[in-house]
């Protein structure tokens, strides 16, 4: 069945197209009798007013675009659930896009969302896109950064941000291993084009220096994926000076680290201590692992991001100074 047009509906109801439009938009007085006739025709013809045409008029699409580097990472989905629980009440719906840690894909997705005129964007950037992001902000579309900052500190402070204290967090995690006597530490880092990659690595280095160690950590630069956690362990185990402890700087890579250590027949922490930035959902499968992990609160961060978004979408708060919300979390141990 082809899509019915407003003209066909008007003809079927024996009214003008303007009247059909008035009924559908509730925009002016129309008698009950005419209303019923129009709605009967709408239902009979299965007419659906094009939201595209409508959004041109109302200038609101009630869509909020969410771009994250890894759509199946429970961390980002926790943030999204928080956002949704706030904005959903106001009738907004979330659509998700996955950049796969690929700045070029992220750029395309930003363009798509801008062209589709979503009402706002939530972005955990893969890095390298300051100009494109700044251009969106300049076009008056609200954009809230989550988890990750822009590359350049000066553009960074121009946008709303909800993130974690990555440097301090990674330092705390590292100190746990240092206090247990580890000095040969392997770091599984994310890509340094992302702020979380840069800041967490800096945190590890700071802690080692503050502890009086001259040698830095052995660094594997991964892509925040489980596969990279696996590869990092393989590299560490084959190294001439094998580390006695591994710090993995996101939850996905940590799962890979644990899988590969178990596969290698090593015991955690007796043969290899492990500390993870972020909880590993499956961690408790390792009985008495002694795994250290940095707690994260993605849902709370999402709630905060959602509140900021709503205040920006409502015109009155558009000119407020950028929000800067940084969560500082504790290190826990899995027993």
Point out which residues bind a second copy (CB under 8 A).
Answer: 1-3, 46, 48, 50-53, 55-56, 61, 63, 65, 71-74, 77, 80, 93-98, 108-109, 112, 114-117, 135, 138-140, 226, 255, 258-259, 262-263, 280-282, 284-287
Complex with a second copy: residue 210 or 285, whichever CB lies closer:
285
Complex with a second copy: residue 135 or 183, whichever CB lies closer:
135
Complex with a second copy: residue 16 or 58, whichever CB lies closer:
58
SS3 category, 292: strand
Complex with a second copy: residue 18 or 51, whichever CB lies closer:
51
- Least gap, CB of 191 to a second copy (angstroms): 19
- Least gap, CB of 58 to a second copy (angstroms): 12
For 271, the token pair is 């043969």
SS3 category, 329: coil
CA 219 to chain centre: 25
Complex with a second copy: residue 48 or 238, whichever CB lies closer:
48
- Least gap, CB of 72 to a second copy (angstroms): 4
- Least gap, CB of 218 to a second copy (angstroms): 24
- Least gap, CB of 89 to a second copy (angstroms): 13
Question: How are beta strands 63-68 and 93-98 bridged, if at all?
Answer: parallel
For 191, the token pair is 């890509």
Q: Please state, in angstroms and as integers, the Cα–Cα distance from residue 119 to each residue in 21, 116, 177, 233, 309, following that order.
A: 24, 9, 45, 43, 9
Q: Please state, in angstroms and as integers, the Cα–Cα distance from residue 32 to each residue in 20, 26, 39, 131, 142, following that order.
A: 13, 12, 10, 53, 40
């Amino acid at each position: 069945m082809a899509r019915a047009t407003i003209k066909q509906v008007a003809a079927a109801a024996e009214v003008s197209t303007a009247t059909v439009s008035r009924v559908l938009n509730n925009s002016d007085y129309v008698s009950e009798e005419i209303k019923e006739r129009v709605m009967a025709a709408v239902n009979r013809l299965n007419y659906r007013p094009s939201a595209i045409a409508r959004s041109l008029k109302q200038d609101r699409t009630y869509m909020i675009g969410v771009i994250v580097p890894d759509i199946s990472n429970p961390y980002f989905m926790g943030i999204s659930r928080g956002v949704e629980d706030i904005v959903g009440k106001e009738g907004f719906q979330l659509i998700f896009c996955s950049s796969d840690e690929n700045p070029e894909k992220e750029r395309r997705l930003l363009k798509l969302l801008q062209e589709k005129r979503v009402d706002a964007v939530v972005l955990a950037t893969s890095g390298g896109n300051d100009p494109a992001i700044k251009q969106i902000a300049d076009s008056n579309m609200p954009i809230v950064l989550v988890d990750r900052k822009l590359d350049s500190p000066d553009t960074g402070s121009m946008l709303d941000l909800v993130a974690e204290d990555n440097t301090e967090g990674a330092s705390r995690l590292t100190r746990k291993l240092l206090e247990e006597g580890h000095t040969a530490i392997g770091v599984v880092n994310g890509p340094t084009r992302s702020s979380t990659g840069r800041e967490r690595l800096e945190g590890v280095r700071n802690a080692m220096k503050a502890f009086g160690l001259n040698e830095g950590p052995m660094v594997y630069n991964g892509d925040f994926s489980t596969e990279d956690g696996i590869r990092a362990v393989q590299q560490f185990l084959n190294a001439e000076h094998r580390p006695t402890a591994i710090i993995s700087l996101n939850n996905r890579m940590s799962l890979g680290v644990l899988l590969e250590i178990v596969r290698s027949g090593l015991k955690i922490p007796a043969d290899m201590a492990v500390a993870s930035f972020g909880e590993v959902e499956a961690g408790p499968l390792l009985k008495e692992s002694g795994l250290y992990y940095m707690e994260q609160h993605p849902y709370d961060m999402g709630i905060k991001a959602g509140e900021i978004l709503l205040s920006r979408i409502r015109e009155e708060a558009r000119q407020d100074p950028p929000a800067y919300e940084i969560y500082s979390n504790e290190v826990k141990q899995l027993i």
